[in-house]
Amino acid sequence: MTMSNEGLSLTLNASARSEQVARGEGVQHERVIIIGSGPAGLTAALYTARANLNPLVIAGHELGGQVSLTYEIENYPGFPQGLSGQELVELMKAQAERFGARIKLFSAVTEVDFSKGSPFWLKTDDGTEYLADAVIVTVGATARRLNVPGEKEFTGHGVSYCATCDGFFFRDQNVVVVGGGDSALEEALFLTRFAKRVDIVHRRDQLRAGATLQQRAFANDKIHFIWDTVVEEIIGDEKVRAVRLRNLKTGEVRDYPTDGVFIFIGHDPNSDLFKGQLERDEFGYLVTDRLMRTNIEGVFAAGEVQDRIYRQVATSVGQGAAAAMSAERWLAEHEAERASQPHTVAPNE
């Protein structure tokens, strides 16, 4: 008997979950599942959809992830007038859906089992179980918050977690940078291209950043330091007007005028779900090779969950495209291998 290429999928392994699917017992079988709906995930959806893989995107509870919170994006190619993060996400979603991607909104993956190989088992918070021949992980990273009053209210209206994204909007203004590591100094130096004054607020009396970055920061006339101090509140009306600072040594509290607050106290990749299954580096980022392959064959990762260096929309899009192309090739190779194997006809066929 000759098998058609239509609907061809990988051989189910001998797990109990695979047997459930074979018997049609409520587990949904997909060729490709993409976990996450940021720029990397939606790009992967576009590419796998155009390859006729009928991908399912499990979007999470916030379509677009972190980028959807960005007030305006002016550094993504093709949009010379800029657009908001939410507008970009909606355009990416519409383009992926045009080619057949299915996007499941308001649903997040809560459990996975990659230990038995393809097909991989996943479960979402609504109780739905899936098997996927290939998986692309694009769950991103989350900027650490100060968790102080005013931070959430003014995010996108003076509070930012990305100088590259938002620095331009603070031309000739005064801004505060919170943090003392490499990211804080790199972003502060970037902000000096636009801002009139950059005040770095750090809870200690010395920086954690590398020596070269410190030298550059200390040598920059626009950068000033507020030591031994934390931000206790972000104050404003329609946008940020000041930060409430407390000196940890003296206890002094003061309101310090500023036009913007850039928070760089670190990012946390959203990779805990895959702990013990996918390889992670010392910072928790998923480890991939140049083809976006993880240590589990058939599982790929793209975007900020595996990228602690660039963290830009443009780089995430490129990584999402690469992951999709690698997944497509991997599926084609393994499905061709299965098709070439002799098929034993069961007595009832």
pLDDT for 248-302, tens place per residue? Answer: 999 999 999 999 999 999 889 999 999 999 999 999 999 999 999 999 999 999 9
Task: Name all domains of the chain by residue range, CATH numbers in brackets.
Answer: 16-142+267-340 (3.50.50.60), 159-263 (3.50.50.60)
Answer yes or no: is pLDDT of 338 > 90: no
Report the side by side order of strands in the sheet with 174-178: 159-160, 260-263, 174-178, 197-201, 223-226
Are the C-beta atoms of 42 and 139 separated by less than 8 Å? no
What is the reported pLDDT for 25? 59
Q: What is the DSSP string of 38-50?
A: SHHHHHHHHHHHH
Identified catalytic residue from 162, 199, 259, 307: 162
Q: Which residues pair with 109 in a beta bridge?
A: 124
H helices present in the chain, as ranges: 16-22, 39-50, 85-98, 163-166, 182-191, 211-219, 313-340
Distance CA(52)–CA(232), nearest Å, equals 52
Identified catalytic residue from 125, 126, 133, 165: 165
Are the C-beta atoms of 44 and 316 separated by less than 8 Å? no
The model's confidence at residue 349, banded by pLDDT at 50, 70 and 90, is very low
The model's confidence at residue 344, banded by pLDDT at 50, 70 and 90, is low
Q: Residues 216-235: what's their mean pLDDT?
A: 97
Q: Residues 312-320: what's their mean pLDDT?
A: 96
Q: Helices 211-219 and 182-191, interaxial angle, to 10°?
A: 30
The model's confidence at residue 96, banded by pLDDT at 50, 70 and 90, is very high
Identified catalytic residue from 113, 125, 126, 166: 166
- What is the pTM assigned to this prediction? 0.76
268 is catalytic: no
Please give the DSSP secondary-structure letter assigned to residue 320.
H
Q: Residues 44-60: what's their mean pLDDT?
A: 97
Strand 299-301 vs strand 129-137: parallel, antiparallel, or unpaired? parallel
Across the chain, mean pLDDT equals 90
Kindly report which listed range (48-62, 72-86, 183-197, 218-232) carries the lowest average pLDDT score.
Answer: 72-86
Distance CA(89)–CA(38), nearest Å, equals 7
Q: Which residue has the higher pLDDT, 21 or 332?
A: 332
162 is catalytic: yes
Q: Convert 199-250 into a string of H (helix), E (strand) and C (coil).
A: EEECCCCCCCCCHHHHHHHHHCCCEEEECCEEEEEEEECCCEEEEEEEECCC
